[in-house]
Structure 1
């Protein structure tokens, strides 16, 4: 089997070529205008570079002149690959995509061919273990970096990026000092579940802490692999874009509130006055709360104006404020539901106990099972009297419970919509989607070998872009969690059993239980 030579697609000039011989023959570039001895001297200067010293271990050693490996070989196969500059943040990766429902037939075929190439011997030696591995991939990714270091080409892109990160580092200093003071420990999940606004402040403080930490590392541009740097760069600017878009939409929405706070307050005040209808149900409780709402109605325009001013912190801040306002305006519904739910659940348990009495059984608490039991006549008579009272009271309790359960369910679902919108706006992969559409090379999801027939058949290593299902993987997990918690059948079963209806904990929408990473 003839050996394979991986050759840069953009290199067509003659000269002293250099690269690696292990695990496969990979040419990194060509040095022009120098003799073989002068080329070796130039290559020997690479270890003095700090940037290359950080990459040499990943590439299997320093590059050298591989002419001796090709001496006497008359036939070999050339496979081309792309040399990407480190500043372009394009790179190859060996991460093969897992097939799913959205994976096309062409992608599945590429995955199968790629899996077979991992075991292929590219060296042509019987004992060679020259399959495609991360060392070869790192050689592809580092080839252009070596060429830049050898020719000492200045990188204007790197200078502009350094200047941009310097500005961000200075701009984030004051917000970091302010927001870090608002950062709450993860153990205070109950406080964050109590208020959407408190949780949003914690999210913003977490983002500020993350940006400050990342901008320092990106500003130093620590020598590292391009794949690691590209991932950090993408995550950093995705967060920046989300915050800037959030603030832009929030300022527009806040201006709308400030300009129309009187009209909006009049509309909301009309809706608040309708809550007095429920005073006929739980008169004392709802009447007191209706009085509070009535006394607070004149201050509603000012409250909306304050909301408009605070919306300058972002649309997510406005959503969090309105979520807390919704919880405040529906306190009476929540309290009435709790009273009705406790009464309904108690009647259900009492009815179950009386049903066991009529069957001649009772529940054994110690063994957690229902055993047969012989009741006295007095016990049966007392049970009959209780059952009669329960039978006459149950329809009334059921009617009130059904009313407040439906109202509580409506408020929970509305709150779930607001919380879901918060989660999407705080963590939407906007920058990643832009890269996926503009430059898929920066979000690779594996490689494949493409055959080009111009002017003659040649093989080229191509990068397979990451699918949208992977980009939205966290959202698919969040959606599955929401669907599971707000499943209509589960909620209906909870209502029938008298179990308490609760919203999904806000903190669980931000962190995955299995690994604790932000969701």
Structure 2
């Protein structure tokens, strides 16, 4: 009994000791946590709180950072589009002078190649005569074009150098009157309800003020940057046209003067192009919004996934809101159209002048002068094909039984001797259509691009009016030779 009681007392004591030990451990953990919290609070009290100015500066910095991120995200796509467009452009597409240098380098390369081919043909008498004739004509035609270009350019360059002051004054007066004063006067005239045309007053005032200021800004740039150096620019144009060929084969000549004049025209009319792009962008957006609202009235919408117009049911709130927007656009559209038509006409006039200069440049670079002279002087040296010419000849008959001792001639004559047709192979000279085939294709491309109906449609739809791409009116002699 004593042993059993002793064992039971020992087990109870062990259980009580475990419980006491567990309670003490929990209390110790709580005390440790409380001590850590107390130490953290004491350490935080030792730190100096930020002042009001530091808090305000931090808030302003965060605000500026957020605004900068929003600004970058807003302009990221347009900047990316501009960079992608500029990366796809070549320097030849930006400047006609650079393209003219490339054309002259191409002509020199073709001359070197054809010189070697002609020398090989002289040593080899069994070469193809048609290939030799083509290379011979092309070689001397290119030489004549370059010599004529240098000669005309020398004369024109001397004229520019001798009269650079007078030409600079005339050019400055023309630019200020036509490109600066005339657009500003027309914009103010549109803002004053011309001919009873009642435009929206607020929108017209905004258009007129914005475009007048833009033209005035570019006019100030021209007056302070370009006009003071205009006599020097004209004199340099004359030097390049006269003596540029002495420096290098790629410079000089009348073609280089035309190319420089083209680039200068683009620079002087830059403000008109910018105003046209802005007005065209607004016009196209208004036209697109009007078309969308018109589909809304008809209960339709454009399905961009299937690229078609589908039927759709709109709520009464959507129809009411669409009616309000359509009424607003209907009253603002005449004002937008008037200012867009003004700059579209100015842009069209600029494109006509640019097309004339490009045509003249193509005429001087690729005119078949030598071939035309050969066609007039000796057309047989320009083979354009072969043909048979039938010649009628008289056939003589020998009488039967005639001797060979001379007692009889052995020939019989009759009133109607027999005849026969003999084919003779002859060379057919090249026709004028074959000589001017380049200009036939060029005229077809120009007529297609500058078709009045196509231009009128582009103006109505708000499509950007651009000159014809230069690679479409350029005759690539490297590939053709």
TM bracket, shorter-chain basis: 0.5 to 0.7
Q: Which runs of 5+ in 1 are unaligned?
A: 1-186
Cα deviation, 1:134-165, whole Å, max 9, x if unaligned, reads: xxxxxxxxxxxxxxxxxxxxxxxxxxxxxxxx
User: Partner of 1:294: helix, strand, or coil?
Assistant: helix
Task: Please give the alpha-carbon distance, in whole angstroms, between the structure 1 residues aligned to 2:240 and 2:161.
Answer: 10
Cα deviation, 1:473-501, whole Å, max 9, x if unaligned, reads: 11101110000000000000000011111
User: Partner of 2:90: helix, strand, or coil?
Assistant: helix
- Cα distance, 1:516–1:241 mapped onto 2, change above 3 Å: closer
Task: Please give the alpha-carbon distance, in whole angstroms, between the structure 1 residues aligned to 2:275 and 2:304.
Answer: 31
Task: Please give the alpha-carbon distance, in whole angstroms, between the structure 2 residues aligned to 1:359 and 1:516.
Answer: 57
Alignment of 1:299 onto 2:225: no
User: Partner of 2:301: helix, strand, or coil?
Assistant: strand
Residue of structure 2 in register with 1:155 after alignment = none
Residue of structure 2 in register with 1:16 after alignment = none
Residue of structure 2 in register with 1:363 after alignment = 302
How far the C-alpha of 1:516 sits from its partner, in A, is 8.9
User: Partner of 2:428: helix, strand, or coil?
Assistant: strand
How far the C-alpha of 1:435 sits from its partner, in A, is 1.1
Task: Please give the alpha-carbon distance, in whole angstroms, between the structure 2 residues aligned to 1:455 and 1:298.
Answer: 86
Check conservation: 2:106, 2:478, Cα contact below 8 A: no
How far the C-alpha of 1:225 sits from its partner, in A, is 2.1
How far the C-alpha of 1:283 sits from its partner, in A, is 2.8
Alignment of 1:481 onto 2:445: yes
Alignment of 1:286 onto 2:215: yes
- Cα distance, 1:238–1:336 mapped onto 2, change above 3 Å: same
Task: Mark the structure with the bigger radius of gyration.
Answer: 2
Cα deviation, 1:160-219, whole Å, max 9, x if unaligned, reads: xxxxxxxxxxxxxxxxxxxxxxxxxxx986321211101000000111111122212323
Alignment of 1:213 onto 2:113: yes
Select the residue among 253, 260, 276 that pairs with 1:321. Answer: 260
Residue of structure 2 in register with 1:493 after alignment = 457
- CA-based RMSD of the aligned residues comes to 2.2
Cα deviation, 1:285-336, whole Å, max 9, x if unaligned, reads: 2121010111121211111111111113111111111111111100000000
- Cα distance, 1:494–1:188 mapped onto 2, change above 3 Å: closer
Residue of structure 1 in register with 2:104 after alignment = 204
Task: Please give the alpha-carbon distance, in whole angstroms, between the structure 1 residues aligned to 2:172 and 2:480.
Answer: 38
Task: Please give the alpha-carbon distance, in whole angstroms, between the structure 2 residues aligned to 1:374 and 1:219.
Answer: 80
Size of the aligned set, in residue pairs, is 331
Once the two structures are superposed, the pairs formed by residues 233-312 of structure 1 within 5 Å of their partners are 233-274=136-177, 275-277=179-181, 278-279=183-184, 281=208, 282-295=211-224, 296-312=226-242
How far the C-alpha of 1:460 sits from its partner, in A, is 3.4
How far the C-alpha of 1:222 sits from its partner, in A, is 4.7
Check conservation: 2:445, 2:472, Cα contact below 8 A: no
- Relative to the length of structure 2, the TM-score reads 0.65
Check conservation: 1:345, 1:497, Cα contact below 8 A: yes
How far the C-alpha of 1:383 sits from its partner, in A, is 0.9
Once the two structures are superposed, the pairs formed by residues 415-430 of structure 1 within 5 Å of their partners are 415-430=354-369
